[in-house]
Amino acid sequence: MGLLAFCILISGGLFFWRFGPILRTILRSKEDADFSLHPLGRRVWEFFWEVLCQAKVIEQRPAPGIAHAFVFWGFLAFALVSLNHFAAGLRLGFLPPESLVGRFYFDFAAVWAVLVAVSIASLFIRRFFVRPIWLGKKISYESGFISFLIFLLMVTYLGAFFATDGSVTVKALWWTHTLALLIFLPLIPHTKHLHLVLSPLTVFLKRDEFSKIPPLAGDEDFGLVSGKDVTQLIALQTYSCVECGRCTEHCPAATTGKVLNPKEIILGMRSYLNEFGADSDAPLLKEDAPTSHLSMEAAFQCTTCGSCEFQCPVGIQHLPIIVGLRRGATNTGQWEDTYGTKLFLALEKNGNALGLSAVERDKFIAKQGFPIFDGTQEYCLWLGCMGGYDPKGREIIADFARVMDFLGTTFGVLKKEKCTGDPARRLGNDLVFQTLAEHGLKALETAKVQKIVAICPHCVRTISNDWREYGIAPEIEHHSEFMARHKDRLPKQFEGGEIVYHDPCYLGRYRDVYEQPREIVALAGELVEAPRNHERSFCCGAGGGLAFLGEESGERVSHVRAKELADTGAQTVGTACPFCNTMFRDALSAVSEAPPQLYDIAQLTARALPPTKI
């Protein structure tokens, strides 16, 4: 008994020896200024669904997901058994094996022991023999050892059922089981198995909005510049990473040969915290550090498509970190990039991302005969940079205006409209973003706009969510939502052929709008799905301001996606974002001899409309 107590003390001591500093780092990090537990109900639901039910773990990687879920549920079932195991060893047992409850529970746990043993063995085979590349090139021996320990725990537990009471075998099994548990405990904080302790909390506490960029707090906050800027949530999330690599598997940058690897961003942040602790002055980003994934180059390769954050089973929110690093570099002027500077100067001077004179927009409005919004119309049609200045974007806007006319919906456009600031926001330029957001809010308020509709998911997201930092914008919706609501009155085309629909990141993952554009596509032809669709859709490469940053390294993201779309054999590609559209315009002809046609959903609808009366 004395020996057992001693072993428990050593094991617990070793656990806290490592876990203590981690906990201290998390607690001593900066508080999240905008954090609020509300809405609590949603948090409880997500905890139930994602942690207890393991829904995300299973949904996004079914086979290993189920295996993991069995191990997890088995652990929950075993919690009582293990507690009783030690308590009994100290003569404090509370679950007598001979009692009815005890007999039932031990048998119940035995069923789980079998499931856990089989699951952990299959996970072991996956990790060491199948070896999916997402788990990293390096073999993790610690993972192997921990699998072995879990397997051993189950086997020893089950073995005891077949041994005679009081025999040497029972004693040996008992001690093996005990030692396995006591070795397992201190290994938790030393390995990615720390997620056992932290991730339930991480899932419960994660920010309440997808890809949420927190407001800067005070005059000294420029984003993530040094350890001083790392918040408690970021620290908690980085320590929760289980290194499963789902983020990397779906990352458009990591899978096309760029430096950026979202998993390594999180692990890079973790090593920073391990090395410097909380509250350090050491810079987070390194200008040229090939070994460090917290490099300027990596941070600026992100398209902010959000697939990493969406996929993460332990509640890590990558985008506030990546955009935070960009803010730290841009707001302080450390990021020097010819294209980036050109974009910022264009936004400063011309108020649009394309750097064209505002007069060009006036001319386009006059040519189309768009009415200026004067308060009598129902909708303000937000043109956006693409709709106002880009030739293809203008076609989309013109066609959508025809659809609105056909439906008899009145609309007007703002006399002066500047960029929403989306590219500046995602590239971390808070000065330009604030100026543009404030300008936009004021313009909409002055014009007394009540409802906005836009063709660009980036505009929709930025106006509805990001502008909140500076004021409340009128209600805004994407044209897919608008058209889907009126779909019964829109013409159906019977010979539209096969149309493959591409989910824009900012409409799908960011806004949870998947079905409305599909309903519109289905009116225009036969809807075909790309291999990666809905929440797993693969980025076009334009987001996060990257459309303006010139040539990318590695393979072009747009080419990968365009090939996927072309390979479906559909005659038409349907898009719902002018940026996706512009990316695919070149990419489709580059990857296909006979490229499919490319239309926005507004154009698909407009082509079935009766010719406009003049």
* Residue carrying structure tokens 């410097």: 276
Binding mask 255-274 for another protein (x = CB under 8 A): --------------------
| Contacting residue, 290, 333, 408, 569, with another protein by CB under 8 A | 333
State the minimum distance, in angstroms, from the CB of residue 491 to another protein: 40
> What is the DSSP code string of 400-444?
HHHHHHHHT--EEB-SS----SHHHHHTT-HHHHHHHHHHHHHHH
Q: Does 399 bind another protein (CB under 8 A)?
A: no
**From CA 239, how far away is CA 267, in angstroms rounded?**
8
What separation in angstroms does the CA of 261 have from each of 373, 478, 558? 45, 31, 18
State the minimum distance, in angstroms, from the CB of residue 24 to another protein: 30
Output 19 or 364, the one with its CB closest to another protein: 364
Q: Does 417 bind another protein (CB under 8 A)?
A: no
User: Contact, 240 vs 188, CB < 8 A?
Assistant: no
| Contacting residue, 167, 341, 446, 450, with another protein by CB under 8 A | 341
| Contacting residue, 244, 302, 386, 432, with another protein by CB under 8 A | 432
Binding mask 507-536 for another protein (x = CB under 8 A): ------------------------------
Helix or strand run (H / E) with residue 454: strand 451-454
State the minimum distance, in angstroms, from the CB of residue 360 to another protein: 9
**From CA 231, how far away is CA 239, in angstroms rounded?**
12
Binding segment for another protein among 51-59, 69-77, 348-356, 389-397 (CB under 8 A)? 348-356
Output 89 or 340, the one with its CB closest to another protein: 340
- The CA-CA-CA angle for residues 115, 118, 119, to 5°, reads 80
Q: Does 358 bind another protein (CB under 8 A)?
A: yes
Backbone torsion region of residue 114, taken as left when φ is above 0, otherwise alpha when ψ lies between -120 and 50, otherwise beta: alpha
| Contacting residue, 248, 377, 420, 429, with another protein by CB under 8 A | 429
Residue whose C-alpha is closest to residue 69's, from 384, 389, 410, 313 = 313
> What is the DSSP code string of 313-372?
TT---HHHHHHHHHHHHHTTT----HHHHHHHHHHHHTSSTT---HHHHHHHHHHHTPPB
Residue 571 CB contacts under 8 Å (≥ 6 apart), including other chains: 497, 498, 499, 596, 597
Q: Does 431 bind another protein (CB under 8 A)?
A: yes
Output 168 or 359, the one with its CB closest to another protein: 359
Binding segment for another protein among 57-65, 88-96, 164-172, 350-358 (CB under 8 A)? 350-358
Output 278 or 329, the one with its CB closest to another protein: 329
State the minimum distance, in angstroms, from the CB of residue 331 to another protein: 4
Output 14 or 358, the one with its CB closest to another protein: 358
Q: Does 222 bind another protein (CB under 8 A)?
A: yes
DSSP state of 453: E
Q: Measured between alpha carbons, how far apart are the two ends of the chain, in Å?
A: 96
Q: Does 446 bind another protein (CB under 8 A)?
A: no
Q: Token digits for 62? A: 């079914």
Q: Does 366 bind another protein (CB under 8 A)?
A: no
State the minimum distance, in angstroms, from the CB of residue 261 to another protein: 28
Q: Token digits for 158? A: 């089950």
Q: How many residues bind another protein (CB under 8 A)?
A: 22
Q: Does 348 bind another protein (CB under 8 A)?
A: yes
State the minimum distance, in angstroms, from the CB of residue 429 to another protein: 7
State the minimum distance, in angstroms, from the CB of residue 546 to another protein: 17
| Contacting residue, 359, 366, 594, 614, with another protein by CB under 8 A | 359
- 192-218 core/surface letters (b: 16 or more CB in 10 A; e: else): bbbbbbbbbbbbbbbbeebbbbbebee
| Contacting residue, 167, 169, 274, 332, with another protein by CB under 8 A | 332
Cα–chain center distance at 595: 31
State the minimum distance, in angstroms, from the CB of residue 137 to another protein: 38
Output 152 or 547, the one with its CB closest to another protein: 547
Binding segment for another protein among 102-110, 259-267, 331-339, 562-570 (CB under 8 A)? 331-339
Q: Token digits for 121? A: 């063995």
Q: Does 376 bind another protein (CB under 8 A)?
A: no
Output 98 or 219, the one with its CB closest to another protein: 219
* Residue carrying structure tokens 């990001």: 466
| Contacting residue, 237, 330, 462, 558, with another protein by CB under 8 A | 330
User: Contact, 156 vs 177, CB < 8 A?
Assistant: yes
**From CA 189, how far away is CA 66, in angstroms rounded?**
24
| Contacting residue, 11, 261, 331, 582, with another protein by CB under 8 A | 331
Binding segment for another protein among 112-120, 215-223, 403-411, 508-516 (CB under 8 A)? 215-223
Output 340 or 440, the one with its CB closest to another protein: 340
Q: Which residues, 58 to 87, sit near another protein by CB under 8 A?
A: none
Cα–chain center distance at 40: 21
Binding mask 157-196 for another protein (x = CB under 8 A): ----------------------------------------
State the minimum distance, in angstroms, from the CB of residue 338 to another protein: 7
Binding segment for another protein among 76-84, 185-193, 299-307, 327-335 (CB under 8 A)? 327-335
State the minimum distance, in angstroms, from the CB of residue 335 to another protein: 9
**From CA 66, how far away is CA 68, in angstroms rounded?**
5
What separation in angstroms does the CA of 457 have from each of 4, 66, 483, 574? 61, 35, 14, 15
**From CA 62, how far away is CA 69, in angstroms rounded?**
10
| Contacting residue, 219, 281, 488, 551, with another protein by CB under 8 A | 219
Output 344 or 501, the one with its CB closest to another protein: 344
Cα–chain center distance at 288: 26
Binding segment for another protein among 270-278, 342-350, 373-381, 471-479 (CB under 8 A)? 342-350
What separation in angstroms does the CA of 458 have from each of 178, 184, 279, 388, 576? 56, 47, 34, 14, 11
Radius of gyration of the chain (CA): 28
What residues line the site for another protein (CB under 8 A)?
A: 216, 219, 222, 330-333, 338, 340-341, 344-345, 348-350, 357-359, 429-432
